[in-house]
Structure 1
Amino acid sequence: MAGLRDYLLSPCGASQPSAEEFAAALERYAWFLPLHAAAERLSGETDPLVGLMAPWRGESSLCRAAVDADALTHLTSGEVIDRFLKEEDLRIVADETAPDTEVRTAPDLDDEDELVSEELAAVYLSQGLRDEAVAIYRKLSLLNPEKSIYFAELIEKTEKQ
């Protein structure tokens, strides 16, 4: 039974057990589906139990062909990529109807443009730079007239500190 166990655990690496050993194991462990799949593989005959019980499981690892590991390790990455691309045409090609626009990786800012936010003003306040924070709040008040009262209160509070 040890040879059968080794074969079931590693069908590609272990030696094939005898037909008597398989028959005895099938008689004793009739419920064990991998044993039926291995017997099906060795005999070449279809086992109705495997067809009945295994369609939801997909193909058993015992039914798959052995993988040639040496062939896989001797390939370079370029050869693997070429083989993959030859199987199907999976090349990424630019769309000819797409507009030719420049891809920007950084924002275009003029020297006159200045980034202002409440977070920047809070950073200035935490650093003790009250004048810079007040300047930021004034710019925000001009940019957001609907919040001008809010910013006026912040300016007054900051100037009193």
Structure 2
Amino acid sequence: MSTVVALPERVRLSTREQAAGHLAVGAAHLITAVLATRPARLKTALALFAHRATPATTAQAARARTVVCTVSPRCGSGYGCLPRSIATALLCRLAGTWPEWKSGVRFPPLTSHAWVEADGAPVGEDPHTISTFTATLTVPPGGAP
């Protein structure tokens, strides 16, 4: 059985945004490959990136997410939430900010998801759907646990 997944609309990016987006996506895939099975270490690594960062606004986080989804169709799909959320946070960090990064679960059936929030709301996600998840890992701006 197959699932139909609509990718987000691609937008025109500057050369700088493309380069930064590819850097963030590459780093996110590397972080995911190395630390995805070790949640505590993943949280520690992300907290190091978030250290001394100011909170990202909704507009900053939304633009970062758009850039990430445009340069990487895999991150833009419904199955790339972990690298997408990490890449979005890293791209914000390149500008000196950090959205609140979260990962959580819901059941039944057991499902996991990762997303970013800014100004207390999920960015690029359906708030109703996100409210069904229980956050298990959170990395706020500044990197405090």
- Richer in strand (by share): 2
TM-score (norm: length of structure 2): 0.27
TM-score by length of 1: 0.25
Larger Rg: 1
